[in-house]
Structure formats: structure tokens, C-alpha cells
Amino acid sequence: MGLLRDYGQLEPHYRVLDMGCGMGRVARPLTTFLDPAKGLYEGFDINTAEVRWCSEHYASHPNFRFQRADIYNKMYNPKGTVQAEKFTFPYPDASFELAFASSLFTHMPISQVARYLAETARVLAPGGRALLTLYVWNQESRELVAQGKSALPFRPHDDLIVITPFVPEAAIALPQEDWDQAVRDAGLEQVGDVLWGSWCGRTASTAYQDMVVLRKPE
């Protein structure tokens, strides 16, 4: 939660969106931080069991809500009926002051990520922020991987950068130029520098994945 406060400027009255909420790992500390009367947490995920578990175990917090999104993913939801490129977040425009996605874009190609960025921009209130983790594929990370310093053996496959061509969604790195273009197309702006992660062999990192802070203009 420290990152949400430090980089997302999280306040107790904020309305917060957790994309890919899983078992509610981030939701737990927010139950004692968000104002029960003013603050709001909304999470969605493709995993039925995890959404059900969260709905049951957070039932005593009525301002915490969880939804299942039946989005197709070859690795995590192969029977999904909705393509991520066409998924519309189930929330009205300008619904949140803060959105975040932890280790979600690391399993999605840029076409899907671009859609999620556009939807993130739509549901953020003006001035709202998004904290997102991903693997950025640029000259530095590419060279470190080539030197064998990365824990993840990324390599090109078709038009993707993956660790296994058999199930690309296991881990996907996004070319920086494609990522930057998707951010611009969504109408979002980057806040500060990318917080580079150690995944590719960097030694001066504070986190494993790269993290980007985006903002919706006022």
C-alpha cells in the first residue's frame, strides 16, 4: 500500500480500482485505510474462485466490491467469452481517483494493453492516477537478457516478446515504443520516470517488475 500512497497519492476518501484483483492481496490493507463512508474499492478478475472468495471474505466491508470478468486468456481463462481487446470496464466514466494493475499487463499483448489503458483513462476522474507494472522491452533490458542476466528468458516470437511460444500469456514484455504510443493514444500522461525493476538483471532496483505512474489530465 505504500506505493499507492507514495505514487498514487492515495487518500481515505478515494475511489480505487484494482484491475486483476486476484485474492484481494491489495484490498486487505485498504480495508483499514479507506473511509467506509466515502472511500470505495472495486476489483475485477477473470478467476471465478478468487472473486467468490473475496466477495465472501470482504462481505463485512460494503464499500469493497468484486466482480468476475469472463475475459479470454489462453493461460488463465481459456474458456473466456470476451476478448480483452473489446472488454469494457463495468464502471461509469470518471468513477475513480486511483487505478492500479499489479502483474496484469505482464500477461497481455500490446493490443489488449492498449484497450485497458483506454478504459483506465475513461473511468479515471480528471487528475486521477494509475499505477501499473509491466516488463518494458528496451535496449537496456534487451541487452541484459542477451547477456543471460535475466531470470526470465524472453525472446521474440511472431510479433511478441515472450518466455514460451507455447503459452505466450505466461509472460510478455512490451516494446517501449509500443507502450509509449498506447499511453499517448489513451490520452494519459506519464508522471515522473519509469521505476525500473530487477526482472532483467538490473542491480539498482527496488522492485521486480517495472512500474509506471500515469495521470489523466485535468
Task: Give per-residue pLDDT as tens, 154-183.
Answer: 999 999 999 999 999 999 999 999 999 999
Question: In the predicted model, is pLDDT for residue 78 greater than 90?
Answer: yes
H or E, element range at 108? none
> In whole numbers, what is the pLDDT of the chain averaged over residues?
97
pLDDT band at 206 (very low <50, low <70, confident <90, very high): confident
pLDDT of amino acid 3: 93
Question: In the predicted model, is pLDDT for residue 111 greater than 90?
Answer: yes
Mean pLDDT confidence for 76-87:
96
H or E, element range at 68? strand 64-68
Q: What is the pTM of this model?
A: 0.96
Question: In the predicted model, is pLDDT for residue 33 greater than 90?
Answer: yes
pLDDT of amino acid 189: 98
Mean pLDDT confidence for 127-133:
99
Question: In the predicted model, is pLDDT for residue 103 greater than 90?
Answer: yes
pLDDT of amino acid 22: 96
User: For 2-215, which CATH class?
Assistant: alpha beta
